[in-house]
Structure 1
């Protein structure tokens, strides 16, 4: 299960691996226990859109010191999944992936970036669907497929963002999903789910879902069907409720789902500070039959004012009130029971693709997909040249070296990641923190007493949010287009 390496000093601590999860019908499932998995996630994109720098090799998972700091804070918060929007396949991610892995956290990765040629565009999508784009996409898959905590890949994010984009985009997103799934099937030692992260545009949301989740005739055609479906939703603001926030519409619209559905972003920031009252509903009995949790937007404070933690360029950080409030909401729930739910023996069956599934005028109802562009099939069959490879490595020090303060300004002392036992996922209380100096409240134990931004909006039509860490750890080597 756990790959070992001699690349680090003797005496280093060995990181235990989380259990790779599987998709079984409409749920994520731990194949060892048969338990369903609920995503308790946070969007992780330090630096916002300015942080992703391909030329210098920066991305959110390139600096192990930064990852260690953030993994400790996310572990104390109770998070079990991070969503990372932009990664550079040419950079070595072994230490950061190993840190989050040891902390009991999975990674959901967007394969695109905001740069031209590295995303599928909303306008004239056929012009962005070519072999060089897929080469870079497959490189991301190669870089992360061997980490046990890689949970899923997003083939697109908000590429469909209004009724007009529904005319041309759907076949191309479904084609990219097919190409990635075929690459994973050919070159990965285990299945890794691939799906789409949708904008919560209700006029086209359920048509988008139906288009990506229906089954085509023949096994080969079904490779284009998404394994998962997610949405970026900001309809719950402040002290709202299930109906006022129109979560009831989501549950009713997705009822009978044949794949896992979850929030790939949530957390309206008006009013501010946020109180996250939706948490108890997302993980409550009104939603868990249909939804598999969600990802709070976002970890770092940027100009859009969605942050849980404020960062400085010297690596120091301070928790925000939003962090405290989210932690309190998580702490009210019994995640031991929530994560112990068994997947039902019966499963929902996906509908056969048919134009009758589409209800919006002008939305594409033709399920004939574009064939892979010239040169792409050879990449799928033979693999990309100079493919990056990732592996779990030993970490020699779990202590955070940066100064981190609570929201009241008191310093958190002895902040560190707590490596979890093998096959353990993080939950509130796994890491209780160690206290403060200066009379602060401490990091706590997770107990009750203790609209998307410009970054998240489509860029070059792809709707892919960029992100980066503070500095680079190592360069693995360039791949050849």
Structure 2
């Protein structure tokens, strides 16, 4: 069943409304109240990787308020203003976690897919996975998160296109899912929440992927299948690199004419290790902020692929790794008071018209005739799914962290708690301090034409695993996947 949370306020607690909803204006994210352009200082958040999404046991990354409190407090200390969450169960209640991150001054970027069969598009034969029950599931994610003011955007797909072979059939289907999601948001949300795609940084297909999703069919920039945002998972800056050596300069050149916001949906090469995160100063410098809208570091929780900043143990304790402090120190080198207080230009870049000549790579799909919604899907888009989840900001009466957290040197963080921010305030590196350290004995730890590779996940981590869906006759238009 779906939950409609109605928590009772205790002790005079008031609803926190820390962040202002963001809007897309041209190629920028813009604070809807201040008019400032927004730079994402993000963190990939999927504890347990793909296994952290477990509908059979009522578990996903935003279902445990105590864990969210712990991690939001640590990310406040770090300086994050956004999280990206990959695999979520629309049947679960997310009100407390969404409210905690909202109070902490952090936005949420939400993927609508999951690794499970029937909950993502397949890259081989996408027509087999583009069916009504699958769309119903993506619409349920929209319903679950559309009412939170800190929901920044939805991703309709993640790295579904990884090569020319996968680009043969997939692009029209991803664009169709984007269309269906945008129409659902338009019909059922009280504000425009952008929908876009998270791409692999595979240079042989990156430019065509970007152009395929940002172009306007028949020159109509209001075309609902056109992506509102475009992001890429890029790991080309490794070690103590540079703007030119990493290829960041070529990405800036590529995207400088973008008609939609572009940002890193993942970054943070982990070779050599420990990481030095010297790309931070460049990402938030004048070299990039006019083209890129920041990025999301991969990732918060340590998994087998060794990209984590924190070891999150089964008993709720956390051991921060040295990379946490390193990233924190790199953020502190940036004057975010200047970065986040630049007025949006208001400039609108005209989207290219969708036509075959726009696609350069031989074998990449250049057909912009999209599949129509499958039988029954248009009725869901028009009338809404039923039953539907309902999300809302709720009172949080206690922001204290109840779990033991240790630094890499073994000292224990004391007095750790989320610091609720003022109305309209976003979390900023170097400005939030909610804990102090005390000495304690304890353990401490530590593809094709790609610019060196896209995400570390592919088939194994938090992002959407590309599993062809099996069409089940029992999945009919009126059912929500539960």
| Shared fold (TM-score, shorter chain, > 0.5) | yes
State the Cα deviation string for residues 381-439 of structure 1 (Å, max 9, x = none).
Answer: 11000100000000010100000011111010010000000111000133213211117
Corresponding residue of 1:459: 465
Alpha-carbon distance between aligned partners in 1 of 2:434 and 2:15, rounded to the nearest angstrom: 21
TM-score by length of 1: 0.92
Alpha-carbon distance between aligned partners in 1 of 2:428 and 2:402, rounded to the nearest angstrom: 24
Alpha-carbon distance between aligned partners in 2 of 1:457 and 1:92, rounded to the nearest angstrom: 21
Corresponding residue of 1:202: 203
- Unaligned runs of 5+ residues in structure 2 are 442-454, 470-478
State the Cα deviation string for residues 236-266 of structure 1 (Å, max 9, x = none).
Answer: 0000001111111111111111100000000
Alpha-carbon distance between aligned partners in 2 of 1:346 and 1:438, rounded to the nearest angstrom: 53
Corresponding residue of 1:250: 251
Give SS of 2:8's match: coil
How far did residue 11 of structure 1 move? 2.7
Corresponding residue of 2:151: 150
Give SS of 2:295's match: strand
- Unaligned runs of 5+ residues in structure 1 are 441-450, 464-477
- Contact 1:214/1:350 (CA < 8 Å) preserved in 2? yes
How far did residue 232 of structure 1 move? 0.2
**Aligned CA distance change for structure 1 residues 33 and 370 (closer, same or farther; 3 Å):** same
Alpha-carbon distance between aligned partners in 2 of 1:317 and 1:480, rounded to the nearest angstrom: 33
- Contact 1:156/1:462 (CA < 8 Å) preserved in 2? no
**1:306-325, aligned counterparts within 5 Å?**
306-325=307-326
Alpha-carbon distance between aligned partners in 2 of 1:168 and 1:456, rounded to the nearest angstrom: 24
Give SS of 2:223's match: helix
Alpha-carbon distance between aligned partners in 2 of 1:241 and 1:345, rounded to the nearest angstrom: 31
- Contact 1:274/1:322 (CA < 8 Å) preserved in 2? yes
**1:163-312, aligned counterparts within 5 Å?**
163-217=164-218, 222-312=223-313
How far did residue 344 of structure 1 move? 1.4
**Aligned CA distance change for structure 1 residues 32 and 206 (closer, same or farther; 3 Å):** same
How far did residue 169 of structure 1 move? 0.3
TM-score by length of 2: 0.91
Alpha-carbon distance between aligned partners in 2 of 1:371 and 1:81, rounded to the nearest angstrom: 34
How far did residue 17 of structure 1 move? 3.4
How far did residue 218 of structure 1 move? 6.9
Report how many aligned residue pairs link the two structures: 455
Alpha-carbon distance between aligned partners in 2 of 1:283 and 1:302, rounded to the nearest angstrom: 27
Alpha-carbon distance between aligned partners in 1 of 2:202 and 2:219, rounded to the nearest angstrom: 31
How far did residue 456 of structure 1 move? 5.1
Higher mean displacement: 51-60 or 385-394: 51-60
How far did residue 480 of structure 1 move? 6.2
- Contact 1:386/1:480 (CA < 8 Å) preserved in 2? no
How far did residue 219 of structure 1 move? 5.2
- Contact 1:152/1:194 (CA < 8 Å) preserved in 2? yes
**Aligned CA distance change for structure 1 residues 307 and 181 (closer, same or farther; 3 Å):** same
State the Cα deviation string for residues 358-399 of structure 1 (Å, max 9, x = none).
Answer: 000010111100000111000001100010000000001010
Give SS of 2:379's match: helix
Alpha-carbon distance between aligned partners in 2 of 1:122 and 1:353, rounded to the nearest angstrom: 22
Alpha-carbon distance between aligned partners in 2 of 1:361 and 1:480, rounded to the nearest angstrom: 38
Give SS of 2:290's match: coil
Alpha-carbon distance between aligned partners in 2 of 1:265 and 1:153, rounded to the nearest angstrom: 15
- Contact 2:114/2:464 (CA < 8 Å) preserved in 1? no
Give SS of 1:224's match: coil
**Aligned CA distance change for structure 1 residues 164 and 240 (closer, same or farther; 3 Å):** same
Alpha-carbon distance between aligned partners in 1 of 2:396 and 2:365, rounded to the nearest angstrom: 49
Give SS of 1:116's match: coil
Alpha-carbon distance between aligned partners in 2 of 1:269 and 1:480, rounded to the nearest angstrom: 36
How far did residue 306 of structure 1 move? 0.3
Corresponding residue of 1:120: 121
Alpha-carbon distance between aligned partners in 2 of 1:233 and 1:299, rounded to the nearest angstrom: 17
Alpha-carbon distance between aligned partners in 2 of 1:162 and 1:34, rounded to the nearest angstrom: 39
State the Cα deviation string for residues 146-172 of structure 1 (Å, max 9, x = none).
Answer: 000000000000000111011100000
- Structure 1 segments of 4 or more deviating over 4 A? 218-221, 478-481
RMSD: 1.9
Give SS of 1:205's match: helix
Give SS of 1:310's match: strand
Give SS of 2:154's match: strand
Does residue 131 in structure 1 map to residue 137 in structure 2? no
State the Cα deviation string for residues 166-211 of structure 1 (Å, max 9, x = none).
Answer: 1100000000000000000000000000000000000000000000
Corresponding residue of 1:40: 41
Corresponding residue of 2:110: 109
Corresponding residue of 1:373: 374
**Aligned CA distance change for structure 1 residues 407 and 229 (closer, same or farther; 3 Å):** same
How far did residue 33 of structure 1 move? 1.3
Higher mean displacement: 182-191 or 45-54: 45-54
How far did residue 343 of structure 1 move? 1.5
- Contact 1:171/1:370 (CA < 8 Å) preserved in 2? yes
